[in-house]
Structure 1
Amino acid sequence: MATQVKNPFTWVEIYVDDMSRAQKFYETLLQIKLNQLPVPEGLSEMQMLSFPWAENEMGISGALVKMENMSPGAGGTLVYFACEDCLVEEARAEAAGGKVLQAKMSIGEYGFCSILLDTEGNSIGLHSMN
């Protein structure tokens, strides 16, 4: 019996030190509005802001999370955000307080990507087919 293949990711958390600074960066970079999420019981010091998502649509969502014992930083997991043309978001990075680590580059038949540094020290990616 063959196993059905599924996309393995379901949720992403980007850890931050300064929630308002990170919120401003991602809302400016991606031109979106982040939404407050309820804090799980027993984690009163935790803060979560959700990226937008649509039920039953392709892709996944996630949140910015400020939480004790979870720190941001480069060199860990790299999250890629889907874009029409990653050059557009890349152009907003520095004005939003981030930095371009790798300018838009071709990845062949898989499109293009850029690598940025957010305001919290996390490396993030942008991906587009254009």
Structure 2
Amino acid sequence: MNPVVWFEIYVADLARARTFYEKLLKITLEPMEQTEGDWPEMWLFPGEEQGQGACGALVKMDGVGPGPGGTLVYLHCDDCAEPAGRAASLGGSLIRDKFAIGPYGFIALISDSEGNMIGLHSMT
């Protein structure tokens, strides 16, 4: 079983970050239903509870800001070079272009629109 079950990417501007990830990965994020209590606004990445990998969300939470130097999340891609090439035009930046990691495929590193470093992973 994959030990990662959930991730949160903290953002300063939720609309800007949502647009960045939807266009970067060519996906649609969905709003999380608000529950009772003081929950932050979240936009969910597509996923299935019983599917492969982890589910997660973009989160705007008072007192928790985005930025480099924290946890690094890797997002699946068919070819990580493609979204890496789109990052700068979407308000992010390319940190390291696609490179091989032996039998584990390829990765690229980008900065998102909020300054978070994000990993992109593909097998080709």
Using the alignment, how far apart are the partners of 1:122 and 1:39 within structure 2?
25
Letter in 2 for 1:33: T
Using the TM superposition, give the Cα deviation of residue 54 of structure 1 relative to its aligned residue in structure 2, in angstroms.
2.3
2:110 alignment counterpart: 116
Is the contact between residue 92 and residue 112 of structure 2 (CA under 8 Å) also seen in structure 1?
A: yes
* Aligned-partner SS, 1:20: helix
1:63 alignment counterpart: 57
Using the alignment, how far apart are the partners of 2:6 and 2:51 within structure 1?
14
2:84 alignment counterpart: 90
2:24 alignment counterpart: 29
Greater Rg over alpha carbons, structure: 1
Using the TM superposition, give the Cα deviation of residue 84 of structure 1 relative to its aligned residue in structure 2, in angstroms.
1.0
Using the alignment, how far apart are the partners of 2:106 and 2:61 within structure 1?
33
Using the alignment, how far apart are the partners of 1:40 and 1:95 within structure 2?
35
Deviation string 1:64-110 (CA, Å, 9 cap, x unpaired) is 00001111110100000011110111111111111000110111111
* Aligned-partner SS, 1:12: strand
* Aligned-partner SS, 2:15: helix
Q: Could you state the TM-score of these two structures normalised by the residue count of structure 1? A: 0.91
Is the contact between residue 10 and residue 65 of structure 2 (CA under 8 Å) also seen in structure 1?
A: yes
1:51 alignment counterpart: 45
Identical pairs, percent? 49
* Structure 2 unaligned residues grouped into runs of 5+: none
Please tell me whether residue 7 in structure 1 is matched to residue 5 in structure 2. Answer: no
Q: Could you state the TM-score of these two structures normalised by the residue count of structure 2? A: 0.95
* Aligned-partner SS, 2:7: strand
1:3 alignment counterpart: none
Please tell me whether residue 74 in structure 1 is matched to residue 43 in structure 2. Answer: no
